[in-house]
Amino acid sequence: MLLPPVLEDDDAEMEKEKLQLGKQRSRQTEDVHGPKEESSSPFTSLRDKDSEEEGKEETVASHGDYHTDLELEGKEAAYDLTGKECYMKACKVLQVVPSTHFLQHMQNTDLDMKHYGLGPQGTKALAVPLVTNTSILRLNLRDNWMEGMGGAAIAKMLWENCYITEVDLSDNNLGDYGARAISMMLKENSTLVSLRLSGNHITDESAEYLGQALISNSTIQHLDLSYNALGDRAGQILGDSLSDNMSLRSLSVGWNCIRGRGAVMLANSLGVNTFLRTLDLSFNGFGREGAIALGQALKENYVLEELNVSNNRIPPEGAICLAMGLKANKTVKFLNIGRNPIQSNGCYGILQSVQDNPDSPMETLDFSDIPVNQDFEDLYRSVKEMFPVLRVIHRGLIGTLSKDKSYKVLL
């Protein structure tokens, strides 16, 4: 289902006083360059999947309907170089209390406004001056409960702003509405390098939009989608997208619901992706089949350096298949496979794969919460002679676990 105009207010009276992002900039340049031709917005080009076969394209949020810009006339606009007047007027129209912190730091390169309780309306007001702000490069809006409408306001702002490179929108209850708006922005934005969307109740309904964004965008390097509700469908789509993506360096999809076919396809994408350096798959459900696919992908991948597959219900035979991949891999330095039921035999197999691979760059093996036997300890001492920098974390020797359940780190 397509998004309605992303910043449309429900109140009829407020409708007449909507803010328009970007209008201030266009009015200031119109006298010099003539009227600015209205550009197409990414919010107008997305098809509804259900109507695509019929060739019916619906508007998500037309550029003309996205009324969020504040108009400042004459001298007022000329002297509002900081955007403070624009922000104050936006707060008045949207009936929110201006943020003193924002007014004091809106000319800094880093703006940290996490836990400020902005809400949807406060976020809209904040977005107005950020459209033309050229100072802020890193923006942290974590935990402001901006919801979908506030997220859509930030998305539109980032479509206009060409200076901000890092954004944290975690824990804002964006939902699929906000996620789709952010996804459409990513298809056009060429500035963002880092984006955090952790903990936003994003489901498989947004998967197709996220997948298209990852294929279209060529600048985003760090993406955090952890602590959401992405499932098998998302895993399949993200897997396809990663096969074509050439910019991501780190991706986190930990604490989701990716399992089955989705886990396999996501794992398979590592075999062809030649850019990703860090991948967090923790707290999903990769299981045996996902581990087998990961093992095969590691035989072909020559760029990944950090892999986290902890808490994925991987059994001993899955760990052995993963070990076969590590036996041929020459890039993975950090592997976290802790809190999986791989038992001591699985840990032994992975450690042995490092021993059998003279080109292994492995520095850390994390088997947290998994007890090992004496055979593992003996093997570790042998491997340590070949790889003196190797660090191993495990639960301790079977039969000698202490009551405080402390971890044993072998250096």
pLDDT, tens digit, for every residue of 12-44? 334 434 444 444 444 433 432 333 333 445 454
Residue 294: Cβ-neighbour burial (10 angstroms; 0-12, 13-18, 19+): buried
Helix (H, G, I), strand (E, B) or coil at 340: coil
Q: Are strands 391-394 and 408-410 parallel, antiparallel or unpaired?
A: antiparallel
Which residue has better confidence, 160 or 23? 160
pTM over 0.85? The answer is no
Buried b (16+ CB within 10 A) or exposed e, 344-374: bbbbbbbbbbbbebeebebeebbbbebbbee
CA distance linking residue 242 with residue 297, whole number of Å = 13
pLDDT in tens, 188-220: 999 999 999 999 999 999 999 999 999 999 999
CB 265 within 8 A of CB 237: no
Name the residue type at position 42: P
Comparing C-alpha atoms, which of 227, 226, 213 is closest to residue 185? 213
What superfamily in CATH does domain 107-410 come from?
Ribonuclease Inhibitor (3.80.10.10)
pLDDT of residue 294: 98
- DSSP conformational letter for 218: S
Helix (H, G, I), strand (E, B) or coil at 335: strand
